[in-house]
Amino acid sequence: MKISTRSLSKIYKDATQLSIADLINGVRLTKAAELLIQEDLSVYEVVQKVGITNETYFFSLFKKKYKMTPKEYALQRKANQIN
């Protein structure tokens, strides 16, 4: 495409109001939420599977998006599936 990554990132952000990093983190958090309710994995294992290296950072991103901790999210979703 003969365009720098910086220029491409700016074009993408102008078009979507979302940075590339925010897009990637959103995909990772969506996958993490799926893993938390579909598989019997610890939060630490989920963090590793979605490719986030800092567990504290993952917790802050997850809580910001879902308004609860990953463990609370998993327990709530699993309880909703039973009902």
The pLDDT of residue 70: 95
The pLDDT of residue 83: 64
Q: Where are the alpha helices (DSSP H) in 39-69?
A: 43-50, 55-66
Query: Residue 53 and residue 35: Cα distance in Å, rounded?
Result: 17
Q: Tell me the Ramachandran region of residue 36: left when phi exceeds 0, alpha when psi lies from -120 to 50, beta otherwise.
A: alpha
Average pLDDT on 4-23 reads: 94
What backbone torsions phi and psi does residue 24 show, to the nearest 5 degrees?
Answer: -65, -45
pTM of the model: 0.85
pLDDT in tens, 16-75: 999 999 999 999 999 999 999 888 889 999 999 999 999 999 999 999 999 999 999 998
Question: Could you tell me the two tokens for 44?
Answer: 């630490």
Confidence of residue 14 (pLDDT cuts 50, 70, 90): very high
